[in-house]
């Protein structure tokens, strides 16, 4: 990023334990506005947990996460208010099964932000058109393919007009032929300047779209760099080992 760098999220000494298991062991990270940060690492490394701490779906066990000047880890912070600004896309899509596509998208703006139904619908139509799914507006999640579900899930998060989007392995539950359509939406989003934090196994996406790639293993950031450097010239032996496995 060459333009002005505005700090959006600052993570200091983030720790997370599940019982005796230490999943995150002190993570420090700064995420700037407009950046696309890709997090890679072996399964069980803590990368998803890190992402879920960023909107407090997981309560951290130590450290601080400052989002737009507010400490998310502070129990007194209004997490529901903060989450409106932090969109999240899940591996399993998690579309609301009891609601149609249009209601999935508008329920947030209407119920949470208090937007009028017309205004919310307008946003939904604009976003659905953008991802090429306007014809599914009245469908129910059970009638959609995985790729369609995930594109709708992205739209649902976008409809809240967030300042950052978190992606938790957004293509891992998809059939191979549907990965492309979801990645295309994400690429377009990145090109629009959306700040994105993406946990993924799609190394191609990381290379092409990422501004920065972070390698996490055993709960710590072992290495981070621009994708070109990290993929062609990894410094840490574990990064080398991991990349040799996933890129071969």
- Per CB under 8 A, residues contacting another protein are 55, 57, 80-84, 86-88, 90, 92-99, 107-108, 111-113, 140, 142, 153, 156-157, 160
Q: Which is nearer to another protein, 43 or 80 (CB)?
A: 80
Supply the minimum distance, in Å, between the C-beta of residue 113 and another protein: 8
Buried b (16+ CB within 10 A) or exposed e, 116-130: eeeebbebbeebbeb
Q: Which is nearer to another protein, 150 or 239 (CB)?
A: 150
Q: How far is the CB of 142 from another protein (least distance, A)?
A: 6
How far is CA 224 from its chain centroid? 18
**CB 167 → another protein: shortest distance, Å?**
12
- Gap between the Cα atoms of 237 and 232, Å rounded: 13
Give the separation between CA 227 and CA 248, rounded to whole angstroms: 17
Cα angle 235-237-243, degrees, rounded to a multiple of 5: 85
Interatomic CA distance for residues 93 and 102, integer angstroms: 16
Compute the least distance from the CB of residue 45 to another protein, in Å: 21
Residue nearer to another protein on the CB measure, 163 or 218: 163
Closest contact distance (angstroms) between CB of 88 and another protein is 4
Least gap, CB of 233 to another protein (angstroms): 36
Interstrand relation of 62-67 and 220-225 (parallel, antiparallel or unpaired): unpaired
In the complex with another protein, the residue whose CB is nearer, 50 or 93, is 93
Where would I find the beta strands (DSSP E) of the chain? 7-18, 21-32, 36-40, 62-67, 70-71, 86-89, 164-168, 195-199, 212-217, 220-225
Distance between CA 135 and CA 65 in Å, rounded? 40
Instruction: Please say which residue, 197 or 230, places its beta carbon nearer to another protein.
Output: 197
Nearer to another protein, 84 or 172 (CB): 84
């Amino acid at each position: 990023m060459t333009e002005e760098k505005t700090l959006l999220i600052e993570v200091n000494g983030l720790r997370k334990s599940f019982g005796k298991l230490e999943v995150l062991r002190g993570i420090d990270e700064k995420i700037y506005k407009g950046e696309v940060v890709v997090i890679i690492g072996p399964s069980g490394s803590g990368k998803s947990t890190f992402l879920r701490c960023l909107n407090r779906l997981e309560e951290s066990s130590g450290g601080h996460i400052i989002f737009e000047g507010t400490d998310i880890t502070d129990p007194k912070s209004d997490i529901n208010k903060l989450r409106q600004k932090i969109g999240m896309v899940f591996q399993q899509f998690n579309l609301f099964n009891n609601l149609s596509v249009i209601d999935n998208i508008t329920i947030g703006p209407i119920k949470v932000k208090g937007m009028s139904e017309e205004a919310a619908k307008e946003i939904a139509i604009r976003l659905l058109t953008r991802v090429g799914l306007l014809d599914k507006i009245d469908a129910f999640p059970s009638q959609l393919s995985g790729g369609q579900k995930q594109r709708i899930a992205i739209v649902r998060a976008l409809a809240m007009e967030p300042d950052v989007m978190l992606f938790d392995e957004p293509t891992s539950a998809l059939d191979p032929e549907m990965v492309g359509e979801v990645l295309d939406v994400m690429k377009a989003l990145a090109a629009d300047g959306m700040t994105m934090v993406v946990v993924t196994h799609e190394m191609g996406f990381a290379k092409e779209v990422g501004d920065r790639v972070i390698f996490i293993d055993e709960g710590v950031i072992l290495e981070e760099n621009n994708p070109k450097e990290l993929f062609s010239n990894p410094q840490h032996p574990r990064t080398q080992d991991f990349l040799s496995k996933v890129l071969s």
